[in-house]
């Protein structure tokens, strides 16, 4: 498929079916993420794959609560990818502080999208989850306290009825040439 067709098929999936994801497919998604660019080639990420049933339940339950119930679809996710952001390169820290831009988080976002696009190629669905109880996940996965969890991605098979119509702003409202 063309790249634009791949982008049109990538969507946030919140209705997984009960089918395990083959680790070979996850490894190809990780390879796509590993190949993504990063500022100064810092590669500020570590991917923790969670597919063990008890840990999956712990991670899922850390993505919602009574106040924030909208992520409870994660209980049906066959696997998760927890991305730990490792902001260790000193020159990037200074550059990020100077510009007030967390470059390492931009890099993690690029890697996450590479992962998700490869998942589409593999016939899998994903959903990037930004709201989660970080301390609960860190405890469950034994992530050192000084590290930060940047993102959780659910991944799995789903009833694929074709991509939903994307609701996006029209091109004229997001584009200009040579001036704002």
pLDDT tens column, 69-123:
889 999 999 999 999 998 766 656 655 566 778 889 999 999 999 999 999 999 9
pLDDT at 160: 79
CA angle centred on 46, ends 44 and 48, rounded to 5°: 160
CATH class of the structural domain 7-159: alpha beta
Residue 1, C-beta contacts closer than 8 angstroms, at least 6 positions apart: 9
Structure-block tokens of residue 174? 């997001």
34 has a pLDDT exceeding 90: yes
Q: Hey, where are the domains in the chain? A: 7-159
């Amino acid at each position: 498929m063309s790249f634009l067709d791949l982008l049109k098929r990538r969507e946030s999936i919140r209705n997984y079916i009960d089918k395990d994801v083959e680790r070979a497919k996850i490894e190809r998604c990780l390879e796509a993420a590993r190949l993504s660019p990063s500022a100064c080639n810092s590669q500020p990420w570590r991917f923790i794959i969670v597919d063990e049933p008890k840990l999956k339940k712990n991670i899922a339950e850390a993505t919602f609560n009574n106040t924030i119930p909208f992520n409870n679809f994660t209980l049906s996710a066959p696997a998760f990818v927890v991305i730990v952001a490792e902001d260790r390169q000193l020159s990037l820290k200074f550059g990020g502080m100077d510009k007030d831009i967390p470059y390492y988080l931009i890099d993690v976002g690029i890697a996450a999208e590479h992962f998700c696009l490869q998942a589409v190629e593999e016939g899998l669905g994903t959903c990037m989850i930004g709201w989660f109880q970080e301390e609960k996940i860190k405890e469950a996965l034994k992530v050192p306290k000084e590290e930060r969890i940047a993102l959780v991605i659910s991944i799995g098979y789903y009833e694929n009825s074709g991509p939903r119509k994307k609701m996006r702003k029209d091109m004229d409202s997001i584009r200009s040439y040579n001036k704002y």
